[in-house]
Structure 1
């Protein structure tokens, strides 16, 4: 498995290692779906969840847009609920679709995947950063953009330089997490698409570069029009409440997304590969995923439902093309197989224990 970067560099994994583990795991998962009456894709539970998340986002929006909600405090409650809905769409709906895991029909995945654009993001960028770079090269320095925040304000990778301000990151990181989606919609999507255009990644992922830019611009105009312009023009709320509600919505969504994704990979006992002087990761790709990823709160059904099964990050990274509603079942297979082959399978018992470990890792990386 390999990907060419903008410098035309290729980094490979030693997939001749642990071949038997790979073979056995895939056989067992495939056999599970053969024996099960459930397919690999979305089921009724997933469709119900999709409807719920969109309602959680759009019902509060129309309530204040149409003047049903006139109280300022109720308005901010609606903004808070929209933030949860926005996070839910990202975690539970568009995520599966943009992995091709929502439906066996490509057009369904494409349409549902564009729900990210509806809530302000950009599906094209997301597929490159997340599917190609992060999933292929999890925790590999210089390849995984998820551990390389722009500007160096946060340090997620022990193979990168420590700066003076990093010693406080275990405190300020939690505040910055809430700004994540705001950064995406205002700056990151444009900067990122420009980078992917320049380094050739965009050309490899889409038929038309100009089409990708036009789609980015049009969907941004659409988003800002309905989320800011229409409420300012037609709702009973003052413009500054609309702007503050917009910020609150994004802060809730950004914080929710960050505290789910960051504890999955930036942890005390995870591997971070440095390939600066080599073109090879000294491990089988699947085993590398197990060494750089962890689960948490696997018994917490409510959390698992809301976060799209992403507390089962190990199963997601090994089988990203399987809809998350099946992760709970195949997790037993993955854990058993990993234990048989003496390969680490890390899982934190609670969500809080995972957050604590992540906080300790932030502290350590600051030093």
Structure 2
């Protein structure tokens, strides 16, 4: 794994200020009553949308599929992301249960997602060869060190269609690959009988509830069942990419290729360089993004519930200003525009070195 430079003044300053803030919070680093109340609201909305879906036939049912995906994403972001970091509750059992059930709504193993998210993404966001969210694929190029293909010229146009397949792909294809890798690298966690049972139960329950139950109750044609499922998972997938991953996949966010395994700046400065926040002090933005609008604060304080992100973001901005560093901040519209511009830029054919002059040519 790459190595960061020795922590510098900003890292020490922002940590001291952040911990001082947390010491004065009644619930410490964990979720506040307000966050639990928000989670209850989104959970109720999800339940109502599912009830309406199961009582509706015809095209209106697709609207309820979309709303179910919307509210399920809000539940996932409000509860499960913090549970993955152990910051939703002080009780490990609560965190694990919420993580398993929440990601199970999409047929994804919460345990596997947590393992990869913390181990690969949080330590090294936007670092070549280490960050799962910056890997892209042959179909889309999201990092400058990714291979370029001619069809990437149009990736800003077709990207939303690929984004919509994220959750379905993760549930039915990628999760199985991740499980095989995890069983090799962490057999004590994922090569056990309990882990296998949990993994298979998540897949079976997801198939039964998301496909089997609508089939039995509504008896739709096969195309309508599949389309409804893709709408449900697709809405959540697009929101995840744009609102969460988009904070790293933007024009302002830097991408790093370590030299001889070394990263020139320290870990805290790296979080500033690789994140783009949008309206980090906005309560409305926090409500609908579950704190992802202040993503830099989350990366600097990953074991803190997102209800504290707005306050921590202000601390980050002040500390960055004191040390001459930039805290990347924009609006929601700015985030979308920056992501689209990022896709356009990476869709162009990269400059290639001239073997004779060592100059670069487009």
Work out whether residues 94 and 116 of structure 1, in 8 Å CA contact, stay in contact via their aligned partners in 2: yes
**CA positional deviation for 1:158:** 0.8
Equivalents in 2 of 1:45, 1:164: separation in Å? 49
Match for residue 279 of structure 2 among 274, 286, 297: 297
Equivalents in 1 of 2:46, 2:17: separation in Å? 38
Name 2:334's counterpart in structure 1: 353
**CA positional deviation for 1:39:** 2.2
Alignment CA distance shift 1:189-1:343 (3 Å): same
CA RMSD, 1 decimal: 1.8
Q: Secondary structure at the match of 2:253?
A: coil
Q: Secondary structure at the match of 1:143?
A: coil
**CA positional deviation for 1:60:** 2.0
**CA positional deviation for 1:120:** 1.7
Deviations 1:310-355 (Å, cap 9, x if unpaired)? 011100100111110111112111110111011120001x211111
The reply on whether 1:103 has 2:89 as its aligned counterpart is yes
**CA positional deviation for 1:300:** 3.9
Gaps of 5+ in 2: 349-362
Equivalents in 1 of 2:118, 2:344: separation in Å? 29
Match for residue 256 of structure 2 among 252, 265, 273: 273
**CA positional deviation for 1:282:** 1.6
When the two structures are superposed, what TM-score results if normalisation uses the length of structure 1? 0.89
Name 2:244's counterpart in structure 1: 261
Match for residue 44 of structure 1 among 17, 33, 38: 33
The reply on whether 1:136 has 2:136 as its aligned counterpart is no
Deviations 1:245-291 (Å, cap 9, x if unpaired)? 1111111111111111232111223221113x522212111111111
Equivalents in 1 of 2:107, 2:190: separation in Å? 23
When the two structures are superposed, what TM-score results if normalisation uses the length of structure 2? 0.90
Alignment CA distance shift 1:93-1:35 (3 Å): closer
Equivalents in 2 of 1:302, 1:236: separation in Å? 39
Work out whether residues 103 and 109 of structure 2, in 8 Å CA contact, stay in contact via their aligned partners in 1: yes
Q: Secondary structure at the match of 1:280?
A: coil
Q: Which contiguous aligned blocks of 4+ residues in structure 1 show a shift greater than 6 angstroms?
A: none
Work out whether residues 272 and 292 of structure 1, in 8 Å CA contact, stay in contact via their aligned partners in 2: yes
The reply on whether 1:195 has 2:178 as its aligned counterpart is no
Work out whether residues 290 and 344 of structure 1, in 8 Å CA contact, stay in contact via their aligned partners in 2: yes
Work out whether residues 56 and 84 of structure 1, in 8 Å CA contact, stay in contact via their aligned partners in 2: no
Work out whether residues 53 and 61 of structure 2, in 8 Å CA contact, stay in contact via their aligned partners in 1: yes
Map 1:303-314 to 2 at 5 A: 303-314=285-296
Equivalents in 2 of 1:138, 1:211: separation in Å? 31
Equivalents in 1 of 2:283, 2:15: separation in Å? 26
Equivalents in 2 of 1:76, 1:260: separation in Å? 23
The reply on whether 1:217 has 2:208 as its aligned counterpart is no
**CA positional deviation for 1:361:** 0.9
Deviations 1:70-99 (Å, cap 9, x if unpaired)? 342332221111010121122111001011
Deviations 1:7-56 (Å, cap 9, x if unpaired)? xxx32211x241x2222211111111223445221111111122122222
Name 2:345's counterpart in structure 1: 364
The reply on whether 1:176 has 2:162 as its aligned counterpart is yes
Worse-superposed segment, 169-178 or 310-319: 169-178
Work out whether residues 276 and 335 of structure 2, in 8 Å CA contact, stay in contact via their aligned partners in 1: no
Gaps of 5+ in 1: 1-9
Map 1:1-367 to 2 at 5 A: 10-14=1-5, 16-18=6-8, 20-65=9-54, 69-114=55-100, 115-150=102-137, 152-198=138-184, 200=185, 202-203=186-187, 206=189, 208-235=191-218, 237-275=220-258, 278-348=260-330, 350-367=331-348
Worse-superposed segment, 53-62 or 88-97: 53-62
Q: Secondary structure at the match of 2:59?
A: helix
**CA positional deviation for 1:299:** 4.6
Count of residue correspondences: 347
Alignment CA distance shift 1:36-1:222 (3 Å): closer
